[in-house]
Amino acid sequence: METFKLTVNCQQKDVTVDPSTPLLWVLREDLKMSGTKYGCGIAACGACTVHVGGVPTRSCVLPISLVGERPVVTIEAMSNDTIGRVVEEAWESEDVVQCGYCQSGQIMSAVALLKATPKPTDKDIEESMGGNLCRCGTYVRIRQAIKAAARQLG
Amino acid sequence: MMRLGPTLLLGVLLLAIVSIGAASREQGDTPDRETTPNRPAGLAAWQKIYSVMSHPRCINCHTASDYPEQGDDRHRHLFNVVRGPDGKGVPALQCATCHRQANADSTGVPGAPDWHLAPLSMRWQDAADRILPSSAVCKTVSDPAKNGGLDGAALIKHHQTELVKWAWKPGLRNDGSARSVPPIDYEEFMVATREWVQAGMPCTK
C-alpha cells in the first residue's frame, strides 16, 4: 500500500492504495465518486473515461501510480465546466440517454472533442467517439447533441 | 579583359565543383555508400537492424494505414483507434487515452514516453499491411527526406530514445504473459546501428 496525493475536480485527495489499483476503482471505491462507470475493464468501451491532465483517459486501465501530479476531472465536475455544462444541456435537449450507463464516458469524450475541435465534422465525431460504445445504440442522438452543443458554444 | 580571363575561368571551375557537390548532397547519397570498403560489414549490420525493425514491437507503429497494429499477429488496433493528424490519435481518442509514460503491467497496457505512430513517410509496410523488404526499409530509414531529416548521428540518437528502447521491455499483456521482444538484444542492435552508420548506411539494390 502507498499513499498518493491526487487533485480530483480541483480538490486535494489523499488515498492509500496498492500502486497497481486502477484510477477507476480509486474514484469509485475510495473517493465514493460513482459517476464514472465500470464497463469492460480493458479500455474497450469508454464508459470509464475521465480527463487526466486534460487528456481523455480510460481510468479502468490507468494504475494510480501513473497518474502523477496531473489533475483528474470527472463527470461530477462537468456542470461547472463551460463546455461540459453546454454538452450536458444538449444531452437533455436531444434526449440522448436511453439506459444511460455509458453516458458519463460519452460526455467526457464529447467535451474533450469540443475543447480541441469547436466545430467538429461528422468524421471528427465518428473518429473521436468511436471508442465509446453504447449498447442502446444512441449514436445518432449523441452526434446530434455534439453538433447542438457546438452551435450553442458558437 | 586579358587579365580577367584566368580569374573568370577559375571562378567558373570552382562554381562547377561546388554545384556538383551540392547536387550530390541533395540526392541524399554519397559515393561512400556504394564504394566504401566497409560496405559488406555495413550490409550485414543492416540485416540485424532490419530483424529488429520488422519485429511487431517496432513495425506495429510503422504502418502505411490510418491505424496502428497490435500483437504478434499484427492485427488492427482494437477500439476504433485511428492515426490522427500528428500520429497521436484524435482529440477524444488519443494514444495517451490509454498509453502513458510507462507500462501498466497490472492492466496490460504498454506505455513509454512520447507514444505515437511513426509518420507515413516512415511506413515499413505496404497498404495491405505486408512488411516491406529489407532494401525498401533501408532506403526509407537512410533518406533524410523520409526519416525526419536524420543523419547517421541523429539516427543513433533516435535509437537511444525511451520509445525505441521500449521494444526490449514491452511489459505484460492483460493475461499476465510477457510480450515478445526483438530477435537480438538492445546492445547488439546499437552495435549494428553504429557499424551501419560508420559504413555510410549502405542498402542493397
Chain A stretch 57-116, residues whose beta carbon is closer than 8 A to a beta carbon of chain B: 57-58, 60-63, 66, 109-110, 112-113, 115-116
The pLDDT-based confidence of B128 (bands split at 50, 70, 90) is very high
- The Cα–Cα gap between B182 and B162 comes to 15
**What pLDDT is recorded for position A128?**
97
pLDDT tens string B70-98: 999 999 999 999 999 999 999 999 999 99
The pLDDT-based confidence of B28 (bands split at 50, 70, 90) is very low
**What pLDDT is recorded for position B71?**
96
The pLDDT-based confidence of B13 (bands split at 50, 70, 90) is very low
A91–chain B nearest CA distance, Å: 17
Domain A2-76, CATH: 3.10.20.30
Residue B166 DSSP symbol: G
> Do A131 and B93 form a contact (C-beta atoms < 8 A)?
yes
| Other C-beta atoms lying within 10 Å of the C-beta of residue A70 | 16
Q: Domain locations in chain A? A: 2-76, 78-153
- In this prediction, residues B128-149 reach a mean pLDDT of 96
Domain A78-153, CATH: 1.10.150.120
B117–chain A nearest CA distance, Å: 16
Using alpha carbons, select from B92, B65, B68 the residue that is nearest to residue A131: B92
Look up the pTM and report it. 0.87
- In this prediction, residues A104-113 reach a mean pLDDT of 98
Using alpha carbons, select from B176, B149, B137 the residue that is nearest to residue B53: B137
**What pLDDT is recorded for position B8?**
43
pLDDT tens string B33-50: 556 669 999 999 999 999
Residues B107, A44: C-beta atoms closer than 8 Å: no
- Mean pLDDT of all residues belonging to chain A: 97
A129 touches chain B (CB under 8 A): yes
A40 touches chain B (CB under 8 A): no
ipTM value for the complex: 0.95
Best residue in A20, A64, A66, A102 for a mutation probing chain B (most B CBs within 10 Å): A66
Do you know the residue count of chain B? 205
Burial class (CB in 10 A: 0-12, 13-18, 19+), A82: exposed
- In this prediction, residues A89-96 reach a mean pLDDT of 97
